[in-house]
Amino acid sequence: MRKRLAPYLLILPGGLWLAVFFVVPMVILITLTLQSGNYEEGFKLTWRWANFSDALTLYHTQLVRSLLFALIVTALALVLAYPMAYWIAFYGGARKSSYLFLLLLPFFVSFVIRTAAWKFILTDEGILLGPLKHAHLLPQNFHLLATPYAVIGGLTYNFLPFMVLPLYVALERIDHDLVEAANDLYANRAQSFRRVILPLSVPGVFAGILLTFVPTAADFVNASILGGTNTTMIGSIIQTEYLTFNDYPIASALSFIVMAALLIGVFAYARALGTEEVLEVSGA
């Protein structure tokens, strides 16, 4: 009898915590999206579906921008991370873990500090742009901070490990015998890469894209430290609407829209990729 109860008892405390502080808030979020009112007079559940259309009309620019940035950053991260992960996985030898360690080392520093450090590096007359301007390689009023480029750069930097790790794990598992076999069948380098390694690494690509796209779209710290006008992300808006303007219905509607957009994207991607095959191939 106790044995059958055991799992339920084990799950209970943690499950309760999650239920109260994660699941219930999610439901409340949804109910808040349908309320109306204001901070002083209170909010009531009035089933105001117009909150969603209001939220979209007001902030669709920032919403689209966030998703666009996230797409660009994810693509960039994939391109940057893959060669690294590939080389370490296949040619790292005994020092694989050391390389990985070195790669992940910077991320022991608080991410606000890292981003602030980038702000410092990219200042108009700073250690990066200053010398370039002196050498007249750049126009004098060139600036990186307060542009989308700085924000995208910061985001790519901060979320690179989320792409590298899954890629590495997937690549590292690939049985070298398979590559051997391909070579034995007269495949050249490019072919064995394209037809053996790449497909086998897809689960890693999927995981990496998932782990990079979602947090990037919702991030706003990079934009607020490195960006300026025309770079505000939807997360910043949501935070301000909650904390400064106390416009809870709009804020919740925006939160919900972000969550829904991301979920739909992830689901669609998973379906398109065929998760079952992905799992099989990954040897899970």
Partner 1 sequence: MPAPASATYPAAGRRRRWTTFILPTYTWAMILYLMAPIGVMILFGFNNTKGKLNVRWQGFTLTWYRDLFRIPDLTGALKNSLTIALLSTLIATVLGTMIGLALGRSKFRGRGLTDLVLFANIAAPELVLGSALLGLLITVQVPRGYGTILIAHVMFNIAFVAVTVRARMAGFDFTLEEAAQDLGANPWTTFRKVTLPLIFPGILAGALLAFVLSIDDYIITSFVAGQTLTFPLWVYGATRIGVPPQVNVMGTLIFLGGVVLAVLNAVFARRRTL
Partner 2 sequence: MSKRPEQKPQRPPIIDPALLRGLTQPRLSRRAVLMGAGTAGAAALLAACGVQGSSKPATSQGQDAVAKFWAGKSKAGVLDFANWPLYIDVQKVGGKTVHPSIEAFTKQTGIKVNYKEVIQDNDSFLGRITPSLKAGQDTGWDLMVITNGGPLEKLIRLGYLTPLDSSKLPNFNQYASPRFKDPSYDPGNKYSVAWQSGFTGIAYNPKLTKRPVTSFQDLLDPAFKGRIAMFGDILDTPNLTMVGLGINPETSTVEDWKKAADVLKRQRPLLRKYIDNAGEADVLSSGEVWVSMAYSGDIFQLNSSGAPGIKFVIPKEGAMLWTDNMCIPLHAKHPVDAITYMDYVYVPKVAATLAENIDYITPVPGDKQMIQQDAAKASGEDKASLEGLLSSPLVFPTEADLSKGHRYRILTPQEQTTWNRIFQPILQS
Residues 149-208, interacting with partner 2 (CB under 8 A): 166, 169-170, 172, 176-177, 180, 203-204, 207
Q: How far is the CB of 101 from partner 2 (least distance, A)?
A: 15
DSSP symbols for 219-279: --HHHHHH--TT---HHHHHHHHHHTS--HHHHHHHHHHHHHHHHHHHHHHHHHHTHHHHH
Q: Cβ distance 213 to 70 under 8 Å? A: yes
Q: Which of residues 186-205 bind partner 1 (CB under 8 A)?
A: 186, 188-189
Given its phi and psi angles, is residue 210 left (phi above 0), alpha (psi -120 to 50 degrees) or beta?
alpha
Start-to-end Cα distance in the chain: 32
Q: Which of residues 133-192 bind partner 1 (CB under 8 A)?
A: 157, 160, 183-184, 186, 188-189
Q: In 3-state terms, what secondary structure has residue 143?
A: coil
Partner that binds at residue 17, options partner 2, partner 1, none, CB closer than 5 to 8 Å by kind: partner 1
What are the structure tokens assigned to 109, written together? 């520093």
d(CA 50, CA 37): 13
Partner that binds at residue 52, options partner 2, partner 1, none, CB closer than 5 to 8 Å by kind: none
Query: Binder to partner 2 among 77, 232, 255, 257 (CB under 8 A)?
Result: 232
- Please give the single-letter amino acid code of residue 256: F
How many residues interact with partner 2 (rule CB under 8 A)? 59
47 contacts partner 1 (rule: CB under 8 A): no
Query: Binder to partner 1 among 203, 208, 227, 235 (CB under 8 A)?
Result: 235
Q: How far is the CB of 2 from partner 2 (least distance, A)?
A: 21
Q: Between residues 49 and 245, which has the closer beta carbon with respect to partner 2?
A: 245
x/- binding map, residues 64-93, to partner 2, per CB under 8 A? Answer: ------------------------------
What are the structure tokens assigned to 192, written together? 């064995």
DSSP symbols for 156-204: HHHHHHHHHHHHHHHHHHS-HHHHHHHHHTT--HHHHIIIIIHHHHHHH
What are the structure tokens assigned to 107, written together? 């991320």
Q: How far is the CB of 283 from partner 1 (least distance, A)?
A: 12
Q: Which of residues 23-42 bind partner 2 (CB under 8 A)?
A: 23-24, 27-28, 31-32, 35, 37-42
236 contacts partner 2 (rule: CB under 8 A): yes
Give the Cα-Cα-Cα angle 149, 150, 153 (nearest 5 degrees).
Answer: 85
Binding region for partner 2 (CB under 8 A): 19, 23-24, 27-28, 31-32, 35, 37-45, 54, 58-59, 61-62, 94, 124, 146, 166, 169-170, 172, 176-177, 180, 203-204, 207, 210, 228-230, 232, 236-237, 240-241, 243-248, 250, 267, 270-271, 275-276, 279, 282, 284
